[in-house]
Amino acid sequence: MKIGIVCYPTFGGSGVLATELGKALAQKGHLVHFITYQQPVRLGSFTPNILYHEVQVPTYPLFDYPPYETALASTMVDVIKNNDLDLLHVHYAIPHASAAYMAKQILKKEGKHIPVITTLHGTDITLVGRDKTYAPVVTFSINESDAITAVSENLKAETLSHFHIEKEIEVILNFVDVSRFNRKPIDAFRKVIAPNGERIFLHASNFRKIKRVQDVVQIFAEVNKQVPSKLLFVGDGPERSTAEDLSRELGVCDEIRFVGKQEQMEDILAIADLFLLTSEYESFGLAALEAMAAGVPVVSTNAGGLAEINIPGVTGFMSNVGDVHSMTAQALSILKDDATLQGYKERAAAHAKKYDIHYIVPQYEKLYERFL
């Protein structure tokens, strides 16, 4: 098949998922065309069967806001026509679903039918999409998609309760390439981070308010009083300075490293002992699944789709949003001795195998086939 994939090219979960999907499809012999404003960060080096089309958004003094959606729709038309694509799969509804609708209508006039599949990822529905500034366009363009998928049962339910959706929403869970995350720790790296054998905590996100990174610092500060430990913060975003300030206030800043956006997550996860995800909402929590795949237990909130992937007492624990005391106690219980921690690590890795790329990608292929 010749498949167009539209996504955000960033470290965000939707971009990561879309890029990994495109890479997997290409490996299976499909021809994949990425249409984004930048090369997706997870794309890596040259891969046969993958083509990349950059969306250029020309500026003009009149434009306070350069019209990205128009440029995207035009690029879609150009790529679909000139490469005779079979279908377009857009990830994250805003503005990808409405740009795809526009491209579809333009091509229809020219006698080309292009099926559009929209995958909903989370904040496009639960946060941004619900805002009345966007909601009518989001509702319309989702309904106009030939197929709609959501990355968890929870996101499907959220979509149905907040938008008037006239079509079936199919749940195709997020996936992870287990073989990629199944790495041995690099001892020298572990020694740099935890020279005295301290436990290593990890949090990775875009540091938006919804992630509640201040809770991560609080939990870590409490655990650190009892268990020698270090915390790695991966990623960057608006709340990073809040986390930095709090870590100084709580006297743990020497135990915390902010390592910024990182491409080699598998190497970082390989040295971690516990992943903290304190979000107010996660449609799925791909970062937590990647952690499990690397054999890292997860202490998280029970918000949204996290309850579908984190199994209490098996892969980690869950608490109500903001309940840092409970999450502290849970982290301590996982770290209480080597054998207990090892048990959680093994079970987390085993559980992640259920979400392996080899099970999930065929579900997308099957969906695509229905439209060919």
Interface ranges with ligand GMT (CB under 6 A) = 12-15, 17, 92, 121-123, 151, 174, 206, 208, 210, 281-286
Q: Spell out the residues 6+ positions from residue 85 whose beta carbon is closer than 8 angstroms to its own.
A: 2, 3, 4, 33, 79, 114
Task: Round to whole Å and give the CA distance between 147 and 154.
Answer: 18
Strand-pairing partners, residue 176, are 356
Ramachandran assignment for 294, one of left (phi > 0), alpha (psi -120 to 50 degrees), beta (any other): alpha
Cis peptide leading into residue 95 (ω within 30°): yes
Instruction: Compare residues 286 and 335 and give the one whose CB is closer to ligand GMT.
Output: 286
Rounded least distance, CB 13 to ligand GMT, Å? 3
Shortest gap between Cβ of 42 and ligand GMT (angstroms)?
12
Pick between residue 246 and residue 306 the one whose CB is nearest to ligand GMT.
306
> CB-wise, 57 or 127, nearer to ligand GMT?
127
Q: Rank residues 190 and 209 by Cβ distance to ligand GMT and give the closer one.
A: 209
CB of 13 or CB of 297, closer to ligand GMT: 13
Closest CA to 240 of 217, 267, 272: 217
| Residue closer to ligand GMT (CB basis): 31 or 287 | 287
Q: Which two tokens stand for residue 301?
A: 């909130």
**Residue 206 or 229: which CB sits closer to ligand GMT?**
206
**Assigned token pair, 141:** 């363009």
Q: How far is the CB of 128 from ligand GMT (least distance, A)?
A: 10
Burial class of residue 240 in the structure, from the number of CB atoms within 10 Å of its CB (0-12 exposed, 13-18 middle, 19+ buried): middle
The least distance separating ligand GMT from the CB of residue 192, rounded to whole angstroms, comes to 28
Question: CA distances (Å), 262 to each of 41, 70, 179, 267, in order?
Answer: 10, 31, 19, 10
Three-class SS of residue 119?
strand
Q: How far is the CB of 353 from ligand GMT (least distance, A)?
A: 18
Least distance CB 209 / ligand GMT (angstroms): 10
Shortest Å distance, C-beta 320 to ligand GMT: 17
Alpha carbon separation from 316 to 207, 210, 270, 297 (Å, rounded): 22, 21, 17, 5
> Tokens 């999450």 appear where?
327
* Closest to ligand GMT by CB, 85 or 100: 100
Q: Are 186 and 192 in contact (CB under 8 A)?
A: no
Q: How far is the CB of 84 from ligand GMT (least distance, A)?
A: 29
